[in-house]
Structure 1
């Protein structure tokens, strides 16, 4: 878990502990007021569990401090603005998150991205996107709105053809080999990638397995102009807006870009993988 996130959660926990102490009761007594197990009170106070909004409302009421609720909500919102739970974001399906991606793209001139194990969403075929959304919904056990999500993703791709935008992406060669569906779907996706090479708004670099690396790619991330970095983990999506984080991810992108191949070389590499798919 991120050190920044954990520090924020521990600070929130310390504030909860202070409110409980000011109420003049110990943890066991406070848990009884709430109807909770004492272990939950302990975890929240120690910053080992993220409270829900309902938890904070109950805590403020049990401490007889309803005036503190707005502050507690603000602290929680501060955590969730940066670290967004996938389960909460996708509670009603993937379409809403795709609409949010469209909005971010609309206000961005240059998007830089790294993908290590999959094709970037902006470059996906409908079938590849459909398979990706369906698998994600099953894995995260959220609502399946696959067709709506695919349509939204395809609308977002219209930005690739707008002359005032630039998309600079680095794709690890492993993502070209990763099979998430049948050979025909895989081949069509690779064909789509080859067709994007040379588009004047797109710079696509492929990082070969054989490349010498200053820093190995550890996970995917997207940089929106120089104002926002979005990083996806299994459980959360991080939205980082501080200058230090943006500079760090820019350095990671630049170092990996040194090892990528572009243009005709990138096309040849994709074509070699495409040939192996056809041979199966």
Structure 2
């Protein structure tokens, strides 16, 4: 299980460790006795029970056998998968290709009614054009040496965009001005993308804000993130994909989104910035 600094991920790991510790105690075993039954060093049992070392699926199976609690194996394995899913490296997420990584998020999008997205790197995937998405995913595929399923991955992302048409859903997008000034795919792709942003912003269920570049900002840009309703945040970092569900952390991202929203411009002012970026491309 990859280690993440997020307290949501740590909380999930700690909850699993506590359940394993309780299982050991209920069986009347000490950590040393359990280690002996499993054929481990004593320190390994201690590290697992104190959430310093994450258990593997085989570790959990051996733990349950040693405690005479095989009936709890599947439930504990499900908890392990949940904890692992809080922090996923890009290598692991994309090992089967980019298409699967795109499809995996579709159920989350389908059950969400209020979306908030902030991006300091790229145009958010939900409002990308097909050429822009193709350029972005192609760059990722080449940089990370992944299997070439870019065309299928692009189709999956375009399919995911269908949720934008849901009348019962609200979308708030924030992008840094640098996102519209420097892009990918070349001038023609970027021009088409910027025109698309103007069109998307006219939808009644969409709010698009651009945070202008200025020399006196007190709230600086942060990593890109998505807030789904008020229950989950996903953060895209250089090293991996972080899922946050702890209410206090979700609230921190909601507060950050609100602060950045105050710096953004909307409507005619946002269109003016986008139009200026298009003129410079020409």
Question: Please, what TM-score do these two structures have when normalized by structure 1?
Answer: 0.78
Residue aligning to 1:151: 155
Residue aligning to 1:163: 167
Task: Give yes or no for contact 1:228–1:239 (8 Å, CA) kept in 2.
Answer: yes
In the alignment, is residue 109 of structure 1 matched against residue 105 of structure 2?
no
Structure 1 residues 48-57 or 262-271, which shifts more?
48-57
In the alignment, is residue 188 of structure 1 matched against residue 199 of structure 2?
no
- 1:146-187: CA deviations, max 9, x gaps? 111111211222222333222111001111123322222122
The runs of 5 or more residues in structure 1 that have no matched partner are 32-38
Residue aligning to 1:78: 82
The runs of 5 or more residues in structure 2 that have no matched partner are 25-29
**Residue among 32, 39, 44 paired with 1:21:** 32
**Residue among 142, 149, 160 paired with 2:146:** 142
- Cα distance change on mapping 1:208 and 1:143 into 2, 3 Å: same
Structure 1 residues 192-201 or 95-104, which shifts more?
95-104
In the alignment, is residue 207 of structure 1 matched against residue 205 of structure 2?
no
Structure 1 residues 105-114 or 73-82, which shifts more?
73-82
- Cα distance change on mapping 1:60 and 1:115 into 2, 3 Å: same
Residue aligning to 1:35: none
Task: Give yes or no for contact 1:20–1:30 (8 Å, CA) kept in 2.
Answer: no
Structure 1 segment 263-274 matched on structure 2, within 5 A: 263-274=267-278
Give, in whole Å, the separation in 2 of the partners of 1:141 and 1:43: 35
Give, in whole Å, the separation in 1 of the partners of 2:182 and 2:52: 36
- Cα distance change on mapping 1:47 and 1:219 into 2, 3 Å: same
- Cα distance change on mapping 1:233 and 1:274 into 2, 3 Å: same
Structure 1 segment 222-241 matched on structure 2, within 5 A: 222-241=226-245
- 1:75-121: CA deviations, max 9, x gaps? 52232232233333322222233233332222222211101110000
SS in 2 for 1:258: helix
Structure 1 residues 125-134 or 160-169, which shifts more?
160-169
